[in-house]
Amino acid sequence: MDEREQNRAMWSAGSWDAVATLIAGVGPKLLDEVGVGPSDEVLDVATGSGSSIAIPAAQRGATVVGCDLAPQHFVAGRRRAAEAGVEIEWVEADAAELPFDDDRFDRVFSTFGHMFAPDHAKAGAELARVCRPGGTIAVTAWLPTGYAGRMFEVVGRHLPVPASSGPRPVAWGEPEHVREMIPGVDFTFHTDEVVLTAPSVEQFADFYAENFGPLVTARQALGPDWPALRDAIIAFDNEWNTATDGSLSVSAEYLVSIGRVPAAG
Ligand SMILES: C[S@@+](CC[C@H](N)C(=O)[O-])C[C@H]1O[C@@H](n2cnc3c(N)ncnc32)[C@H](O)[C@@H]1O
């Protein structure tokens, strides 16, 4: 299996759609910031089941394509789109090799998706290539120093081999990296947070281990060593937890990068 196949299998494990509900507020907030309406053609790169960007953008009247390396997510995405009464074009695609014409989209988004393509420069070039002159690229990525960035470190320390051959996905949570990976686009940056909640730290760790593809895969790879990682995750969550009633509440910070592609001529 090559790396792309391995990544597809990893992200197809568990149920991204179940995890997506925890962060689904990020997309609508970003759509409001960028401004999306009926005249816009929108691409949601690494859309998952579309709950963050693709479906809310279609509900605003935009024409939407949602693409992802793992078409398994489209089963839930199609169901959610039907429930929302909107149509999305679902396309299997690697963020680093998008099967779309140059300059096709008015708005190109990715919430915590483009960051997982191992070749950051290729993914950045593709986001820019498919966005029309004068259009907008808007992406979110976890801060390396935030809850999710640090959690990836905890998991990474327990893995026998690194999850990816590329740079750290959370490098996309640094403005300099975004500028370097998508040159020639005028970006503004700010940070935001999403608050993750669960009935308990143990329930949260087990929910992720059952549903979040990379952790499902890590658990399977670790076999008898999984309990050590589970303990490390629970200890880490206890450090970050701000709830005092036995439940879990953590703030996960992310970088919002909004870039205007220069107009033609
Ligand atoms: C953390 S999820 C985010 C999904 C969605 N954007 C959301 O906010 O709900 C990461 C997504 O990236 C997809 N993905 C990972 N690597 C990819 C790649 N190289 N190209 C396209 N999609 C990829 C996964 O299948 C998964 O759907």
pTM for the full model? 0.97
Please report which residue ranges of the chain form alpha helices under DSSP H. 3-12, 16-23, 26-34, 54-59, 73-84, 120-129, 147-158, 175-181, 201-211, 213-222, 226-240
Q: Is residue 93 part of a domain?
A: yes
Q: Are 180 and 230 in contact, with CB atoms under 8 Å apart?
A: no
Residue 192 three-state SS:
strand
* Average pLDDT of the residues in 217-245: 96
* Average pLDDT of the residues in 42-55: 98
pLDDT-derived band at 61 (thresholds 50, 70, 90) equals very high
Question: Hey, whose CA ends up nearest to atom 10 of ligand 1?
Answer: 113
Evaluate if residue 187 carries a pLDDT over 90: yes
Residue scoring higher pLDDT (165 or 144): 144
Q: Is residue 123 part of a domain?
A: yes
Domain count, the chain: 1
Q: Is residue 228 part of a domain?
A: no
Q: Is residue 242 part of a domain?
A: no
Single-letter residue type at 195 = V
pLDDT-derived band at 56 (thresholds 50, 70, 90) equals very high
pLDDT at 93: 98
Q: Is residue 51 part of a domain?
A: yes
- CA 111 to chain centroid, in Å, comes to 4
* Average pLDDT of the residues in 7-27: 96
Evaluate if residue 163 carries a pLDDT over 70: no
Q: How many of the other CB atoms lie within 10 Å of CB of 144?
A: 19
pLDDT at 162: 65
Q: What is the mean pLDDT of the chain?
A: 96
Domain containing 158 — which CATH number? 3.40.50.150
For a mutational test of ligand 1's pocket, the pick from 68, 88, 119, i.e. the residue with the most ligand atoms closer than 8 A to its C-beta, is 68
Q: Is residue 205 part of a domain?
A: no
Q: Is residue 187 part of a domain?
A: yes
CA 198 to CA 3: how far, in whole Å? 33
- 192-230 exposure pattern, b = at least 16 Cβ within 10 A, e = fewer: eebebebeebeebbebbbebbbbbbbbbeebeeebeebb
Can you give the residue range of the structural domain that contains 18? 3-193+254-260
For a mutational test of ligand 1's pocket, the pick from 8, 11, 108, 155, i.e. the residue with the most ligand atoms closer than 8 A to its C-beta, is 11
CA 52 to CA 38: how far, in whole Å? 18
Q: What is the DSSP letter of 223?
A: G
Question: Hey, whose CA ends up nearest to atom 26 of ligand 1?
Answer: 48
Evaluate if residue 101 carries a pLDDT over 70: yes
pLDDT at 211: 98
Contacts of 34 (CB under 8 A, 6+ apart): 107, 109, 136, 138, 258
Please report which residue ranges of 199-246 form alpha helices under DSSP H. 201-211, 213-222, 226-240
Q: What angle do CA 6, 67, 26 make, to 5 degrees?
A: 100
Q: Is residue 183 part of a domain?
A: yes
* Average pLDDT of the residues in 192-199: 97
